[in-house]
Amino acid sequence: MFETAKPDQISYLDRLAASDLGRSYKQRMLDELEICAGQTVLDLGCGPGTDLGTLVEATTATGSVLGFDRDQAMVDAARARTAGQPVVDVRLGDVHDLALPDQSADRARTDRVLQHVADPGLALAEIRRVLRPGGRLVMGEPD
């Protein structure tokens, strides 16, 4: 995956996700999430929405999948990619301060996000706030 020129960020994320390594760790994250039908699932720092479709499938399209990203270009790309999926809602937002009620989600994932945030401890406290008791957070930092 080494490159000599800085790639476009979205195409880089797409290529990594399509690689053997990318598919492998993303599948492991999905398995660890243990998503059930009808659940509310958060993809925090969702980027261009690479994983939103898979999360919809895991909820059997009966739940709700919310993507958050602080970058408007990522939000726009994720919305375009999930335009035909009514259970997906992509929002501009910061993982340190999620516009969600307490205990309103069943599952959450961060995939190469905590390494970028200003205060990972605060971000984790915020994720804990929005997860229901018994909820599950899976964090991946393969970079």
Ligand X SMILES: C[S@@+](CC[C@H](N)C(=O)[O-])C[C@H]1O[C@@H](n2cnc3c(N)ncnc32)[C@H](O)[C@@H]1O
Place of tokens 């958050």: 68
Query: Among 65, 111, 126, 139, which residue interacts with ligand X (rule: CB under 6 A)?
Result: 111
Q: How far apart are CA 81 and CA 19, in angstroms?
A: 20
Q: Label residue 129 exposed, middle or buried (CB < 10 Å: 0-12, 13-18, 19+).
A: middle
Our finding on whether 98 is near ligand X (CB under 6 A) is no
CA angle 55, 126, 138 (to 5 degrees): 35
Q: Label residue 85 exposed, middle or buried (CB < 10 Å: 0-12, 13-18, 19+).
A: middle
Our finding on whether 129 is near ligand X (CB under 6 A) is no
Our finding on whether 89 is near ligand X (CB under 6 A) is no
The distance of closest approach from Cβ of residue 28 to ligand X in the complex, given in angstroms and rounded to an integer, is 13
* Residue ranges in 52-81 that form contacts with ligand X under rule CB under 6 A: 68-71, 74
Stretch that binds ligand X, among 81-89, 91-99, 100-108, 124-132 (CB under 6 A): 91-99
Our finding on whether 106 is near ligand X (CB under 6 A) is no
Which residues would be at the binding site for ligand X (CB under 6 A)?
Answer: 13, 45-47, 50, 68-71, 74, 94-96, 111-113, 116-117
